[in-house]
Amino acid sequence: MANELFAQRLRDAMGRKGLKQVDIVNAAATRGVHLGKSHISQYVSGKTTPRPDIMGFLAQELQVDEQWLAGEEANAAPSGSPVPSGSSAPSESAPEPAAEPAPTSSPSVSPRVSSPVNPDPAPSKGTPMRRFGKSHKLDDVLYDVRGPVVDEATRMEQSGMHILKLNIGNPAPFGFRTPDEVIYDMAQQLTECEGYSASKGLFSARKAIMQYAQLKNLPNVGIEDIYTGNGVSELINLSMSALLDNGDEVLIPSPDYPLWTACVNLAGGTAVHYLCDEQSEWYPDIDDMRAKITDRTKAIVVINPNNPTGALYPKEVLQQIVDLAREHQLMIFSDEIYDRLVMDGLKHFSIASLAPDLFCVTFSGLSKSHMIAGYRVGWMVLSGNKNIAKDYIEGINMLTNMRICSNVPAQSIVQTALGGHQSVNDYIVPGGRIYEQREYIYNVLNAIPGVTAVKPKAAFYIFPKLDVKKFNIKDDEQFALDLLHDERILITRGGGFNWQHPDHFRIVYLPRIEVLKDATAKLTDFLSYYQQ
């Protein structure tokens, strides 16, 4: 209730002053206050309330009483809206809910709570209740793939509207099925998976992953270098937590998969974004990467194939990154979850195969290639020069032990999934679903006036560019919300991937072509009149 009351008062105060969310963000930047677009969106929607310092800034900027804005003073009114004489009610622009009744000793109340022998202490009259805020570690942690725009889509769904979700790479809702053999083998082994496994995972799963790593030419890999996880996401978090001290820097691509930036920041590090060049098929800008290395840089993150652009990096580009890491003695983290979703007859190269003298951590899994995102099957492989990372590996082992183990039934099908016929290959050739949907979405997007897109070579995402002058776009989150409200289509804004300009968005092209036709027809119509 407190969140909702604060959100209502915030919206009222902004409306009285004629301010949009972006105006608050710009004002915060001018005054050196850390407040991002996603933060203010969460406040306005009632998802969370700000820390006291941010609450103070908002009250000052909106010229309202801070306690009134926070919902702490029921009878206080915003400045400029005095309470009528002789009335204790708040102003009409800030309606108050009915006061909650005082607690009683009703039989429905737990005896431990209502017991007169040991009653819960209550603050003395006039003493404000202690408030519990979120950790400051979360100040720079955002994940807009499931952020404020998705919250709005959920609200719309709950009111009975149908939303086409093109925001997240979840194959199952679009008719991609798990191979029958995988489901059969898991069912056969369930009774053997009731207990914990070893912390790193089942021997059979790790052996299959080790052999797969050998086929990818990862150097110096043994069974002890394989770690299973509840998806790659868990392992990214674990690997950053084991590595980073406050202030350590990690180079991460822009655009990126935002979990990388979030996990670096959550671990106390600083995510430094190097540019990927749209004019060069979204390949990393090596000169920009080099310019951003400092004495605090510990590692380079490579996402190949790339999410959100669908780019596939050639061996020559990967070699330049290896040379740079070698020159500055940096670790390499390589996110390769889409390495089996490569089209056009191209080949995926693991960057670790080019760096036997460096320490590399390579991530992959079955969520995308085997259409089992909900099973949460991921892994990481340590390779190369492990002698220089003994202490770090000890930290990884400690965190791995602390989480006990990953999903054991899911581990049980790794060997099955990595062996035999790979059904994903049927999707990524001419006539296959992913290939044909890629062809369609690429062509139709580039036919829309004011939209251009680089053709993805892998995965199932495309990252189109909007002509911001044509559409007068200054806020990509607002663009996503407007598209959602007008056409019931949910996409993810470019800023959600740590892209610094409001001119891109990501589309997941997993739906069948007839669904994509309907969606792109609506997008074309929307952009025919849209002005922000």
CATH number of the CATH domain containing 513: 3.90.1150.10
Quick one: 258 exposed, middle or buried, by C-beta within 10 A (0-12, 13-18, 19+)? buried
Query: What CATH number is given to the structural domain containing 256?
Result: 3.40.640.10
- Look at residue 443 in the predicted model and tell me its pLDDT: 97
- Tokens representing 125 are 């009259």
Q: Helix (H, G, I), strand (E, B), or coil: what is residue 382?
A: strand
Q: Which of 70, 86, 105 is the last residue of a domain?
A: 70
Whether residue 76 lies inside any domain: the answer is: no
* Side-chain half-sphere CA neighbours of 327 within 13 A: 10
The Cα–Cα gap between 349 and 357 comes to: 17
- Asked if 233 and 301 sit in the same domain, the reply is yes
8-state DSSP, 380: E
For residue 344, the model assigns a pLDDT of 95
User: What's the pLDDT band for 519 if we cut at 50, 70, 90?
Assistant: very high
Query: Per residue in 408-460, pLDDT tens?
Result: 999 999 999 898 788 889 999 999 999 999 999 999 999 999 999 999 999 99
Residue 27: is its pLDDT beyond 50? yes
Domain enclosing residue 155, as ranges: 144-170+430-529
* Residues 100 and 228: beta-carbon distance below 8 Å: no
| pLDDT value for 21 | 86
| pLDDT of the residue at 82 | 39
Query: Two tokens at 460?
Result: 């199932």
Of the candidates 97, 92, 73, the one whose C-alpha atom is nearest the C-alpha of residue 82 is: 92
Shared domain check, 250 and 160: no
Which range (131-135, 345-349, 492-496) has the least confidence? 131-135
Whether residue 435 sits in one domain with residue 415: no
CA distance 150 to 195: 36
> Which has the minimum average pLDDT: 48-52, 189-193, 486-490?
48-52
Domain final residue, candidates 70, 96, 129? 70
pLDDT at 76 over 70: no
* Same domain as 309, residue 281: yes
Confidence of residue 387 (pLDDT cuts 50, 70, 90): very high
How much is the CA Rg of the chain, to the nearest whole Å? 26
The H or E element containing residue 227 is strand 226-229
pLDDT confidence of 319, banded at 50, 70, 90?
very high
| Average model confidence (pLDDT) across the chain | 87
Residue corresponding to tokens 């510990």: 298
**Does residue 136 surpass a pLDDT of 70?**
yes
**Judgement on whether residues 369 and 509 belong to the same structural domain of the protein:** no
| Cα–Cα separations (whole angstroms), residue 128 to 57, 73, 364 | 20, 10, 50
Count of other CB atoms within 10 angstroms of residue 474: 13
Peptide linkage before 409 cis (omega within 30 of 0): no
Predicted confidence (pLDDT) per residue in 151-167, tens digit: 888 888 998 999 999 98
Would 123 be classed as within a structural domain? no
Write down the pLDDT at residue 144: 66
CA–CA dist 396, 387 (Å, integer): 15
Burial class (CB in 10 A: 0-12, 13-18, 19+), 518: middle
pLDDT digits (tens, 9 = 90+) for 225-277: 999 999 999 999 999 999 999 999 999 999 999 999 999 999 999 999 999 99
Reduced to 3 states (helix: H, G, I; strand: E, B; else coil), residue 125 is coil
Q: What is the per-residue pLDDT across 320-379, written as a single tens digit (0 to 9) for each?
A: 999 999 999 999 999 999 999 999 999 999 999 999 999 999 999 998 888 888 889 999
What confidence score (pLDDT) does residue 5 get?
A: 85
pLDDT, position 122? 54
